[in-house]
Amino acid sequence: MEITVELKDWVDVLTYPRGVVENEEVKSTTLSWIVNVSPREAAGDHSSILQHKSTDGALREYSYLFWEAATMEPFRICMKNASCVRSSVLSDGLLQDALLAQGLSTDEATEMATHWLPALTKKEFVLIEFLPSVELDKRAKLNVAPMPALIHRVFMLFRSTDTEHSCNLPLVRFPTLALPREAKKPVIVEWGGMECF
């Protein structure tokens, strides 16, 4: 099945594999990929292989699409929605538990944790807020055509600090969100984060 993935309203975009970037000279950028999606053959594995045509014309396989960018307006952590944790406990399973509670699979949670752990542990404490999908959609639009059964976005705002802040919210405060992962129903999962200063 061929799908188009499009992101809007970002600047300074870096992608892998290279996507089509439009409007680079104006304030916001539109980024898109056209990929062929096919399910993996392994039993119980609901992930897919993505085939993308590179600029050299070769069709290559990828496990996922990667993008990194900046926003036109910076995100800010809302202290009433944030958790302050000692950064040393994140690698003891707390970060994995928090990401699983956000609805990521074990593989997705592990990939996100290992990607962000170096940035999260720069100082003794870290403030973390998981941005609700509704808020992320307002600031960073994600369009997929044809529309999958579900688009699930997990986005973490964080700020490393030497000072403990009085945040009363635990990092894992919701029961684990179970997403429907049926092989025949496409699900788009996006995870990411941003350091806020």
Name the residue among 29, 6, 2 with its Cα closest to residue 144: 6
Give residue 126's pLDDT.
94
Q: Cα separation of 194 and 43, whole Å? A: 34
Tens digit of each residue's pLDDT (9 = 90 or more) over 72-114: 778 899 888 899 999 999 988 899 999 998 989 899 999 999 9
Same domain, 39 and 118: no
Same domain, 88 and 158: yes
**Confidence band, pLDDT 50/70/90 cuts, at residue 174:** low
The secondary element (H helix, E strand) that includes residue 192 is strand 187-195
Q: Cα separation of 190 and 108, whole Å? A: 9
Give residue 77's pLDDT.
92
Measured CA distances, 103 to 19, 42, 60, 106 (Å)? 27, 22, 29, 9
Average pLDDT over residues 53-63: 87
Same domain, 44 and 127: no
User: Domain count of the chain?
Assistant: 2
Same domain, 120 and 177: yes
Share the mean pLDDT of the chain: 83
Tens digit of each residue's pLDDT (9 = 90 or more) over 146-160: 988 888 899 999 999
Name the residue among 40, 42, 95, 30 with its Cα closest to residue 64: 40
Give residue 15's pLDDT.
85
Tens digit of each residue's pLDDT (9 = 90 or more) over 10-42: 777 788 888 877 765 555 677 888 888 887 765
- Residue 166 located in a structural domain: yes
- Residue 40 located in a structural domain: yes
Same domain, 82 and 163: yes
Per-residue buried b or exposed e for 12-44, using 16+ beta carbons within 10 Å of the residue's own CB: ebebeeebebeeeeeeebbbbbebeeeeeeeee
